Amino acid sequence: MIVLKVATRLLAIVGKELIEVARRPGALFSLVLGPFLIMALFGLGYDNSGISFRTLLVVPPGSGLSTQIADYQSFVAPGITLVGIQTDVESARQALRDQAVDVVIVAPTDLQANFDAGRQSTIRVEYDIVSPVKANYALILAQQLGYAVNQQIIERAAAKGVSEAGSLGVTSAIPPAVIASPTRADPHNLAPVDPNLISFFGPAVLALILQHLAVTLTALSLVHERHTGVFDVLRVSPVSAIEIVLGKVVAFAVLGAAVAALILGLLVAAFHVPFLGDVGLVGITIGLVLAASLGLGLLISVVSDSERQAVQLALLVLLASVFFSGFVIDATQFLPAVQAVGDLLPVTHGIRLLQDLMLRGATTELWRLGILLGITLVTLATTWLLLRRALSARA
Amino acid sequence: MTDPAPVQAPPPVILLQHVCRQYADVVALDDVSLTVAPGTLLGIIGPSGAGKTTAVRILTGGLQATSGAARVLGEDPQRFRRRTRERIGYMPQLFSLYPDLTAGENVDFVASMFGMLFLRRRRRVRAVLELVELWPERGRRASDLSGGMQRRLELACALVHDPAVLFLDEPTAGLDPILRRTIWTELHRLRDGGRTIVLTTQYMGEAEECDAVALISAGRLVALATPDDLRRSATGGDVLEIATSRLVDGEALVALPMVRAVDQHSGRHLFVTADDGGTALPAVIAAIEASGAEVTSGREFRPSFDDIFATLVGRHRAELGGADDGRYPVTSTTTADEGAA
């Protein structure tokens, strides 16, 4: 009889939660399909053509260099769009200040003379960029430009040398281009799939949406009850803290599993994200990401004083997830202490495992499943203890 | 020959012993003691902020008493066993339902929380929804119900598991008079069936519906008695309202042995307070007619409970050193003692 009563209570809590979610389809839509559609739009809309800087070349008078754009196209690296050539440095800088151009390249005035005299010339590259990413990119482009110009100079010098040697009856089998660039890289990506944005972010989006869904729904679910008369009725009733926690976990796990299946199906069928790994392992990973996220959400729910605070904490978890989980920036780029913060988030492990399992077919980091299980147990046990205390009388 | 075995009174279902509850500097309940016998309908009545809800929450285990002891069904509310909890029903003061669930789903959910299995639950859900006249509305979401309907729905939730002890915090607040009558009829039926009911109300007139009334003011128990005893306590006895054909001297009536006081509202309209109204009325009429006046009407006067509680609370405050003299609010009162003097 006791078992039947416990089962009755559990089923009632599960049913109540699912009915409440079903009666608010807008909330479910914004929690699941909203982020998914944004990510899909991002993946489909991002053309991956890279950053392109509008560049002005300054050729000082008397330098002897050409003022025709066409003559410089071979020097221009990808990412630089040569928009004009000027002879006056100050007017070029004004254009930079006016943000009419992004980069100004000032050619050396006496390149040939310096070279002939055995001195280095300086190609001055100026830019007015506040974005650290773009500034780094501009720096790399400036260095590449230097290499390209150097390579051209060496190649021309080699050609000149070969020509002069030929006139003296000395021949060389080595072409000037090889003298200038004796080696070239031949990259091969051995990953089982061709990298593309949707494939790479697909598993990460799945993990992030599942965590966000679970955290937000559970955080709001319990905090609402705690701060209304419902909790007074529950407190008088024979329902226990463990039954409430289990009921909610089961309800949202069912919901999360359905959402996971839906998103996974969309990713694979509609967006052609590879699924190379073992279905069972992917299922276990998704289950543990959900369980750990539910524990985190319930914990937020029992420590929050209001629905507003619960929403704020859920958003903080989302923000931390975007920054520290490896979703955008590789987690290894952070200090170890900050990496540890990321490791407290279920999504960190979910992203890594799902990307490995789906895109590589296997993972060398199965230990992350243990961390997910640990997060689940710790958060649920803490929630249970705090809820049990909350269900007892206020002193 | 042996003495007959003494008849033992059943143990009280509810017991408060010197219970105090303090919130920081505010004393919400101050040394409250009371007992409630099985099958009693106790009304806890008092002005807003008097401590009624605090008392109920201590009895349901929602609050811990700062000092003193509370027992319900023989157990400390802080340590109710599951079986005991299944015998207790509670309706909080604030709206406490799930707005996205329908009326039927809300009652069904609460019934499930109390461990009711499917068949019995289905039967009881219908019974209590019919009782509160919400069966036709069972498919409507709680958020779509009017305030009165929501209150009735909460009452249905409190009743659905047929509890032995029922705590209702202002169950009739916001209900129309006809529905309040229905609710009281049901509460009387439950009481007659052996249920013990403790409810709070701000409607003083509802004291008449209770077997016993605990009057609470500023956290203190001002009075605990039956409604009739409370009335007598406030007025000092039975009050007779007498109208005469011409002027009479009210002070002359004070000399009658069973008369305690006379309030003369006008020369031809008297309120006579006596130990026993039934016995005193013929004697009072005879005395007035002996003085040459004719009694045009004479009946027992039942002051409203609003007046009774105002009197008792005022008297209590006066005892505590307040300004109110605690006298029943009538004019030109002459007491037997004053008359004798």
B2-25: pLDDT as tens digits: 555 555 667 889 999 999 999 888
Largest CA distance in chain B: 76
Statement: residue B273 has pLDDT above 90: no
- Give the C-alpha distances (Å, rounded to integers) separating B49 from A103, A119, A246, B46, B323: 73, 93, 38, 8, 20
Per DSSP, helices labelled H in chain A are 2-22, 25-28, 34-45, 89-97, 111-116, 132-167, 176-180, 197-226, 229-236, 241-265, 279-303, 307-324, 336-343, 346-355, 367-391
Distances (CA, A) of A318 to A29, A208, A347, B111, B210: 17, 8, 9, 37, 56
Q: Is there a contact between B137 and B107 (Cβ–Cβ < 8 Å)?
A: no
Nearest to A353 by CA among A344, A371, A366: A366
Write out chain A residues lying below 8 Å of B78, CB-based: 392-393
The verdict on residue A222 lying in a domain is yes
- For residue B334, pLDDT over 50 is answered with no
* Statement: residue A44 has pLDDT above 90: no
Q: How far is CA A292 from CA A218, A247, A344, A350, A374, in A?
A: 12, 15, 10, 10, 8
CB B104 within 8 A of CB B112: no
What is the reported pLDDT for B18? Answer: 94
Between strands A103-106 and A53-58, the pairing is: parallel
Q: Pick from A16, A235, A395: which is nearest to B101 by CB?
A: A16
Which chain A positions have a beta carbon within 8 Å of B112's beta carbon? Answer: 8-9, 11-12
**Residue predicted with more confidence, B323 or A271:** A271
Highest mean pLDDT among A72-81, B28-37, B323-332: B28-37
Predicted confidence (pLDDT) per residue in B97-128, tens digit: 899 999 999 999 999 999 999 999 999 999 99
pLDDT of residue B333: 39
The answer on pLDDT for B328 being more than 50 is no
My answer on whether A218 and A136 are in the same domain is no
For residue A382, what pLDDT band results from cuts at 50, 70 and 90?
Answer: very high
* Same domain, residue pair A264 and A170: no
CA-based nearest distance A258→chain B, Å = 21
A70 and A158 both lie in a single domain: yes
Indicate yes or no: CB of A237 within 8 angstroms of CB of B96. Answer: no
Closest CA to A392 of B86, B64, B96: B64
Pairing of strands B333-335, B67-72: unpaired
B106 sits in which H/E element: helix B103-113
Mean pLDDT value across residues B274-279: 83
Q: Are residues A275 and A128 in the same domain?
A: no
Residue A147 clears pLDDT 60, i.e. is over it: yes
pLDDT of residue B174: 76
Pick from B85, B117, B118: CB nearest A237: B85
Q: What is the pLDDT, as a whole number, of residue A393?
A: 60
Q: Of B78, B94, B101, which is closest to A392 when you measure between CB atoms?
A: B78
- Is residue A40 domain-shared with residue A58, that is, in the same domain? no
pLDDT of residue B8: 67
Rg (alpha carbons) of chain B, rounded to whole number? 24
- pLDDT-based confidence at residue A73 (cuts at 50, 70, 90): confident
Chain B residues in contact with A230 by the CB 8 A cut-off are 96-98
User: Is A110 inside any structural domain?
Assistant: yes
CB B167 within 8 A of CB B70: no
Tell if the CB–CB gap between B60 and A237 is shorter than 8 Å: no
Highest mean pLDDT among A257-271, A280-294, B298-312: A280-294
Residue in chain A nearest B54 by alpha carbon: A394
Cα–chain-centroid distance for residue B182? Answer: 17
Question: Which 3 state secondary structure label does DSSP give B4?
Answer: coil
Q: Is B162 on the interface with A (CB under 8 A)?
A: no
Instruction: Please tell me the total count of domains within chain A.
Output: 2
Q: Are strands B333-335 and B259-266 parallel, antiparallel or unpaired?
A: antiparallel
Check whether residue A251 and residue A361 sit in a common domain: yes
Q: Do A238 and B85 touch (CB under 8 A)?
A: yes
At A127, list the tokens. Answer: 């830019």
Note whether residue A337 is domain-resident.
yes
pLDDT in tens, A306-334: 889 999 999 999 999 999 998 888 888 88
Residue A225: its pLDDT value, please? 82
The answer on pLDDT for A149 being more than 80 is: no
For A204: left if phi > 0, alpha if psi spans -120 to 50, otherwise beta; the answer is alpha
pLDDT at A369: 97
C-alpha torsion angle, residues A93, A98, A104, A106 (rounded to 10): -10
- Using a 10 angstrom Cβ sphere, with 0-12 exposed, 13-18 middle and 19 or more buried, the burial of residue A101 is buried
Cross-chain Cβ contact A228/B94 below 8 Å: yes
Domain that holds residue A344: 7-45+199-391
Q: CATH number for the domain including A141?
A: 3.40.1710
pLDDT at position B272 over 80: yes
- Nearest chain B residue to A21, by CA: B100
Residue after which a domain boundary falls, among A180, A212, A235: A180
d(CA A323, CA B62): 42
Q: Does B57 touch chain A (CB under 8 A)?
A: yes
For chain B, domains (ranges, CATH) are 10-87+163-225 (3.40.50.300), 100-159 (no CATH), 230-340 (3.30.70.100)
Please state the ipTM of this predicted complex: 0.77
The answer to whether position A194 is within a domain reads no
| Most confident option among A7-21, A168-182, B323-337 | A7-21
**A131 pLDDT higher than 50:** yes
Q: Is the confidence at residue A228, as pLDDT, over 80?
A: no
pLDDT surpasses 80 at A157:
no
A159 and A283 share one domain: no
Length of chain A: 395
What is the percent of chain A with per-residue pLDDT over 90, rounded to a whole number?
A: 42
Interchain pair A11, B115: CB under 8 A: no
Answer whether residue A102 is part of any domain.
Answer: yes
Distance (Å) from the alpha carbon of A27 to chain B's nearest alpha carbon: 13
Closest CA to A351 of A207, A137, A156, A184: A207
> Is residue A187 one of the residues assigned to a domain?
no
**Residues paired with residue B90 on neighbouring β-strands, in sequence order:** B167
Interface test mutation site (partner B, options A232, A235, A307, max chain B beta carbons within 10 A):
A232
Contact A395/B at CB under 8 A: yes
Contact at CB, B77 and A393, closer than 8 angstroms = yes
Amino acid identity of residue B314, one-letter, is: G
Q: Are residues A82 and A230 in the same domain?
A: no
pLDDT digit string (tens) for B60-110?
988 899 999 999 999 999 889 989 999 999 998 887 789 999 999 999 999
Global pTM reads 0.78
Indicate the DSSP class of residue A270: I
The pLDDT confidence band at residue B50, using thresholds 50, 70 and 90, is confident
| Structural domain includes residue A33 | yes
- A229 and A349 assigned to the same domain: yes
pLDDT number for residue B285 = 87
d(CA A238, CA B111): 11
> Residue A366: is its pLDDT beyond 90?
yes
Beta-carbon-side half-sphere exposure of residue A29 (alpha carbons within 13 Å): 4
Is A263 within a domain?
Answer: yes
Q: Are A251 and A129 contained in the same domain?
A: no
Alpha helix segments (H runs only) across A29-131:
34-45, 89-97, 111-116
The per-residue pLDDT for range B188-223, each reduced to its tens digit, is 988 998 999 999 987 888 888 999 999 998 889 988
Examine the domain organization and report whether A220 and A360 are in the same domain: yes
Q: Does A130 lie at the interface with B, CB-CB under 8 angstroms?
A: no
Pairing between strand B238-244 and B269-274? antiparallel
DSSP-assigned letter for residue B332:
S
Q: Do residues A41 and A64 share a domain?
A: no
Give the per-residue SS3 of A284-334: HHHHHHHHHHHHHHHHHHHHCCCHHHHHHHHHHHHHHHHHHCCCCCCHHHC
| Nearest Cα residue in chain A from B83 | A238
Q: Cβ neighbours of residue A358 under 8 Å, at least 6 residues apart?
A: A202, A203, A273, A274, A275, A276, A277, A282
pLDDT score at B144? 94
Contact flag A16-B61 (C-beta cutoff 8 Å):
no
Of A180, A212, A232, which marks where a domain is finished?
A180
- Name chain A contacts of B113, Cβ cutoff 8 Å: 9, 12, 233-234, 237-239
Any bridge partners for residue A104, and if so which?
A56, A126
- The Cα of B217 is separated from the nearest Cα of chain A by a number of Å equal to 23
Residue A244 has pLDDT above 90, yes or no: yes
CA distance B260 to B11: 38
Hey, are the CB atoms on B96 and A392 less than 8 Å from each other?
Answer: no
Mean residue pLDDT across chain B:
85
B20 to chain A, any CB pair closer than 8 A? The answer is no
Mean pLDDT (chain A, rounded) = 87
* Residue that is last in its domain, among A122, A149, A180: A180
The mean-pLDDT minimum among A76-80, A189-193, A262-266, B116-120 falls in A76-80
Tokens of residue A82, six digits: 């040569």
**Adjacent-strand bridge partners of B16:** B34, B70
Q: Express each pLDDT in A196-213 by its tens digit.
A: 778 888 899 999 999 999
